[in-house]
């Protein structure tokens, strides 16, 4: 279910003009490609009105995958925005949807997810970091989220807070909310251009018209398949770019790379199989989140294999800090540790 040709051409032009020239700056100087994200919306590539869910999802997968071929940091930021869009498209809070969905889809408002800790909480890996208390007209939220990406002064993000042990709420938070403070995190191995911050909530008021759900447990069950599905092409994009870098090296040093154990056709076959499995799954309703999680896990392992193979095929040239294979190596290790991480997925799929 590929994106229509006209949209593909628009995306290719945006990547060429708004992303490719900045890839090294993103990787080396923690540059945040905000303009690219906004122009995706301005170009109409995020619209969902009067379109089947499977078509909207397939288009989002294509956007992430094509972006990741050039820069997975920015593709990850796009995934954050698509996650936020998923929350708003799914909520039964019609005022929230009416207020925010148009601006999230047209690029005037950018969103983020904030669900790393809650997803780990529901898998039994962590305690919930945010607490909420009911007050007149909404809730007061306190606590700390260690890292939320794709944030900016006028951005919004989803978060889950516990009222008590039995009930959690999911809210949509404005970054300019009083009582909310940020500390930038840019000392990672890679993806420092992802606008990632730790977020400290000190009695942040969330009005009722910004509550996504009073039952976060049930809401997460609804959004989780799409949340995970949108991550998968992050790996596909990096894998595809790695395959191309391997193919470029085929004649170097008198064709010596032919003796390496892993070659690009093997990687390409695995990638195509996973892509077909994913497209088949998203055409079915309801989405089976465990089947999607299996593909997410397989894609993570494949991406690690692809970047390591590309490092070997590119030889000493890849061992420069600024090389594209080295960047993709760091991107792949981020993908392996993106919630749900490989060990998180291994646990939930074993149950």
For residue range 217-242, list pLDDT tens digits in order.
999 999 999 999 999 999 999 999 99
Q: Which residue has the tokens 């889809």?
A: 105
Model confidence at 34, pLDDT cuts 50, 70, 90, reads: very high
CA angle 59, 65, 68 (to 5 degrees): 140
Q: Is 177 exposed, middle or buried (0-12, 13-18, 19+ CB in 10 A)?
A: middle
Contact 197, 182 (CB under 8 A): yes
Q: Which of 2-16, 38-52, 107-121 has the lowest mean pLDDT?
A: 2-16
pLDDT tops 80 at residue 334: yes
Residue 203, SS3 per DSSP: strand
Q: Which residues in 26-44 are b (16+ Cβ under 10 Å) and which e?
A: bbeebbbbbebbbbbbebe
User: What average pLDDT is seen over the chain?
Assistant: 96
Topology of the domain covering 5-110: Butyryl-Coa Dehydrogenase, subunit A; domain 1 (1.10.540)
Q: Can you point out the beta strands (E) in 36-185?
A: 111-112, 130-135, 138-148, 156-162, 168-174, 180-184
Report the share of the chain in percent with pLDDT over 90: 95
CA angle 18, 20, 21 (to 5 degrees): 80
Query: CATH homologous superfamily for 112-217?
Result: Butyryl-CoA Dehydrogenase, subunit A, domain 2 (2.40.110.10)
Residue 296, SS3 per DSSP: helix
Question: Can you read off the two tokens belonging to residue 255?
Answer: 């064709």
Model confidence at 69, pLDDT cuts 50, 70, 90, reads: very high
Q: Enumerate the CATH 1.10.540.10 domain ranges in the chain, comma separated.
A: 5-110
Q: Enumerate the CATH 2.40.110.10 domain ranges in the chain, comma separated.
A: 112-217
Q: Residue 2: its pLDDT value, please? A: 62
- Please give the average per-residue pLDDT across 34-38, as a whole number: 98
- The Cα–Cα gap between 140 and 146 comes to 19
- The Cα–Cα gap between 288 and 281 comes to 7
- Please give the average per-residue pLDDT across 75-84, as a whole number: 98
Residues 6+ apart with CB under 8 A from 279: 1, 58
Model confidence at 5, pLDDT cuts 50, 70, 90, reads: confident
Q: pTM score, two decimals?
A: 0.97
Contact 212, 279 (CB under 8 A): no
For residue range 154-195, list pLDDT tens digits in order.
999 999 999 998 999 999 999 999 999 999 999 999 999 999
Alpha-helix residue ranges (DSSP H) falling in 129-231: 216-229
For residue range 132-151, list pLDDT tens digits in order.
999 999 999 999 999 999 99
pLDDT tops 80 at residue 129: yes
Model confidence at 50, pLDDT cuts 50, 70, 90, reads: confident
Angle between helices 232-248 and 53-70 (to 10 degrees): 40
Q: Residue 256: its pLDDT value, please? A: 94
- The Cα–Cα gap between 92 and 44 comes to 24
Topology of the domain covering 231-350: Butyryl-CoA Dehydrogenase, subunit A; domain 3 (1.20.140)
Q: How many residues does the chain have?
A: 351
Residue 98: CB atoms within 10 A of its CB come to 11
Report the share of the chain in percent with pLDDT over 70: 99
For residue range 245-291, list pLDDT tens digits in order.
999 999 988 899 999 999 999 999 999 999 999 999 999 888 999 99
Q: Enumerate the CATH 1.20.140.10 domain ranges in the chain, comma separated.
A: 231-350
Helix then strand then coil, in percent of the chain rounded to 5, is 60, 15, 25
Q: Residue 80: its pLDDT value, please? A: 98
Residues 6+ apart with CB under 8 A from 238: 68, 69, 72, 303, 306, 307, 328, 331, 332, 335
pLDDT tops 60 at residue 312: yes
């Amino acid at each position: 279910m590929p994106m229509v040709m006209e949209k593909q051409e628009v995306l290719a032009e945006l990547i060429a003009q708004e992303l490719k020239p900045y890839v090294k700056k993103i990787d080396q100087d923690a540059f945040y490609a905000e303009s690219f994200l906004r122009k995706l919306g301005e170009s109409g590539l995020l619209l969902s009105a009067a379109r089947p869910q499977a078509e909207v999802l397939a288009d989002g997968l294509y956007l992430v995958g094509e972006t990741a071929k050039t820069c997975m940091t920015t593709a990850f930021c796009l995934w954050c925005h698509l996650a936020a869009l998923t929350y708003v498209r799914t909520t039964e809070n019609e005022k929230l949807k009416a207020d925010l969905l148009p601006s999230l889809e047209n690029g005037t408002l950018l969103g983020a997810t904030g669900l790393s800790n809650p997803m780990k909480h529901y898998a039994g890996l962590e305690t919930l970091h945010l607490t909420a208390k009911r007050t007149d007209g909404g809730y007061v939220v306190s606590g700390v989220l260690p890292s939320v990406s794709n944030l900016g002064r006028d951005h919004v993000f989803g978060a889950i807070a516990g009222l008590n042990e039995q009930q959690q709420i999911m809210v949509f938070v404005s970054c300019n909310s009083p009582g909310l403070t940020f500390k930038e995190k840019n000392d990672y191995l890679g993806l420092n251009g992802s606008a990632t911050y730790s977020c400290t909530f000190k009695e942040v008021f969330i009005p009722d018209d910004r509550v996504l759900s009073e039952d976060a447990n049930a809401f997460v069950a609804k959004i989780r398949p799409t949340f995970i599905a949108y991550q998968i092409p992050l790996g596909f994009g990096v894998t595809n770019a790695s395959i191309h870098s391997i193919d470029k090296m085929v004649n170097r040093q008198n064709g010596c790379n032919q003796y390496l154990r892993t070659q690009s056709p093997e990687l390409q076959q695995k990638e195509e199989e996973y892509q077909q499995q994913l497209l088949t799954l998203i055409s079915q309703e309801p989405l089976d989140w465990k089947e999607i999680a299996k593909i997410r896990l397989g894609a993570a392992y494949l991406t690690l294999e692809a970047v390591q193979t590309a490092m070997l095929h590119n030889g000493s040239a890849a061992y420069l800090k600024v090389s594209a294979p080295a960047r993709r190596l760091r991107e792949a290790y981020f993908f392996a540790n993106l919630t749900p991480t490989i060990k998180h997925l291994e646990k939930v799929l074993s149950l």
